Amino acid sequence: MLLGVNLTLLIGPTVPLPATPDIAEALQSVSVTENDEGRSGFQLVLQVGRAGPTDLLDYALLLNPLLRPFNRVILMVLFNAMPKVLIDGLITNQQFSPGNAPGTGTLTLTGEDVSLAMDMTKKRAEWPAMSEMVIANLIIASYVQYGLVPLVMPPPSIDQPLPIERTPVQQGTDLDYLKTMAQRFGFVFYVEPGPALGINFAYWGPPKRIGLPQRALTVSPGPETNVDNINFTYNAMAPTIVDDVVQDRLTNSSMPVMTFVSQRPPLAAMPALPFQLPNVRTSLLEQSPGLSIVQAYAQAQAVTDKSVDSVVTAQGELDALRYGDVLKPRGIVGLRGAGFTHDGLYYVKSVSHTISRGQFKQRFSLTREGTGAITPVVVP
């Protein structure tokens, strides 16, 4: 029991089951890092030692088949009677340190979320007459053994390929191809566990900058404070617009392609675009043969949207027990007590959880496109 927090570890080769007593007792600490882009990861630190005649040949935990690489691991916390799945992943690395004194040995297991399985095999595949949205659904559906449920959002423009003109071709892993397609629209791809055990939502779409905010982060010297420390960075070199000319594949004519502002849902009262104009970067579109004007505009807008996502970055640390909840990435959260310039809503880009006996710490990274709060208050 972690002062109101129960940690549950499930582990096994195919269907993970609650950890056996010897593993549960040996578990010293847990670390989980969740990102809105790229794979999330975890690390388990277990205490190892030799306690009897059965350990004469080797350490018992090292021989335990449940701890083998590529076994599945699910970590869940029961926080104030509410279950929160932190990660559903696969073991990829073992590190053993025997120690110099009895009981000081450690076995460290490191792993990544189940999207790792999508990055194991490089392949060549054709997807005739299929848009990116259809391809994403089909790829995700082929990993049903990991409980993946497709959650694919429609892109801002769909350029349906005609077999007589072009055929989308995949060269690489499924994960690489999903990310490549997502980048064309400024989208992200990630696998999010839960809320049910063994079920994972494979999200392909824009960053989730709308919805109900999580419990507010409070920065103040009073009793309402739930953030241990926080700092803010403004990157004036991030905003980028596109100003280029492309040759349309369909009409064979040269047409201008320009972007001016981000199309993301706003989180800041004074976004870098357009407030920072004319002091912004101007970029050319990466030239790809056979682009239509629709594809060119989609890729140009993706460049601008992506560039302003992290103009303002807030990084900090909190005690989850004092915060009263588990801060999760890939959503929005309110911040108060830092002044008008930095108060307001932020997108939660990443969260790192560190859990040990009696302690639950979280490090977080928040982003948005500019300064100033767009709401007078935030959800407490």
What does the alpha-carbon distance between residue 260 and residue 99 come to, in Å, rounded to a whole number?
A: 59
What does the alpha-carbon distance between residue 201 and residue 211 come to, in Å, rounded to a whole number?
A: 17
Average pLDDT (234-262) is 92
What does the alpha-carbon distance between residue 80 and residue 370 come to, in Å, rounded to a whole number?
A: 35
**Reported pTM:** 0.91
| Pairing outcome for strands 200-205 and 370-373 | unpaired
Among 3-12, 84-93, 198-207, 370-379, where is mean pLDDT lowest?
3-12
Confidence grade of residue 168 (pLDDT, cut at 50, 70, 90)? very high
Q: Could you give the C-alpha distances from 211 to 115, 208, 331, 334, 373, in angstroms and in order?
A: 25, 8, 8, 12, 17
Q: Radius of gyration of the chain from Cα atoms?
A: 24
Q: What is the pLDDT of residue 16?
A: 93
CATH architecture of 121-205: 3-Layer(bab) Sandwich (3.55)
Where along the chain do its domains lie? 5-117, 121-205, 214-234+311-373, 240-308
CATH architecture of 5-117: Roll (2.30)
Q: Could you give the C-alpha distances from 264 to 10, 55, 145, 201, 268, in angstroms and in order?
A: 38, 58, 34, 22, 11
Confidence grade of residue 51 (pLDDT, cut at 50, 70, 90)? low
* Residue pair 155/294 in contact by the 8 Å Cβ criterion: no
Q: What is the pLDDT of residue 55?
A: 62
| Average pLDDT value for the chain | 91
DSSP track, 145-214? GGTEEEEEPPPS---PPPTTT---EEEE-HHHHHHHHHHTTT-EEEEEE-SSTT-EEEEEES----SPPE
Torsion sign over Cα 114, 115, 121, 125: positive
* Res. 106: pLDDT tops 80: yes
Average pLDDT (306-325) is 94
* Res. 3: pLDDT tops 60: no
What does the alpha-carbon distance between residue 177 and residue 213 come to, in Å, rounded to a whole number?
A: 31
Q: Could you give the C-alpha distances from 156 to 36, 83, 206, 300, in angstroms and in order?
A: 20, 35, 10, 12
End-to-end CA distance of the chain: 27
What does the alpha-carbon distance between residue 42 and residue 331 come to, in Å, rounded to a whole number?
A: 20
SS3 of residue 137 by DSSP: helix
Q: What is the pLDDT of residue 163?
A: 87
Render pLDDT for 333-361 as a digit per residue (tens, 0 to 9).
Answer: 999 999 999 999 999 999 999 999 888 99
Q: What is the pLDDT of residue 79?
A: 82
Eight-state DSSP code of residue 351: E
* Res. 267: pLDDT tops 90: yes
Backbone angles phi, psi at 350, to 5 degrees: -155, 155
Average pLDDT (288-313) is 90
Average pLDDT (307-325) is 94
Render pLDDT for 178-237 as a digit per residue (tens, 0 to 9).
Answer: 999 999 999 999 999 988 899 999 999 999 999 999 999 999 877 889 999 999 999 999
What does the alpha-carbon distance between residue 70 and residue 12 come to, in Å, rounded to a whole number?
A: 9
* Residue pair 317/1 in contact by the 8 Å Cβ criterion: no
Q: 201 - beta bridge partners?
A: 149, 192
Q: What is the pLDDT of residue 82?
A: 84
CATH architecture of 214-234+311-373: Roll (2.30)
Query: Do the two domains 5-117 and 214-234+311-373 of this chain adopt the same fold?
Result: yes
Residue 175 CB contacts under 8 Å (≥ 6 apart), including other chains? 115, 118, 119, 189
Q: What is the pLDDT of residue 2?
A: 43
The label of the residue with tokens 């990993």 reads 143
Average pLDDT (80-85) is 86
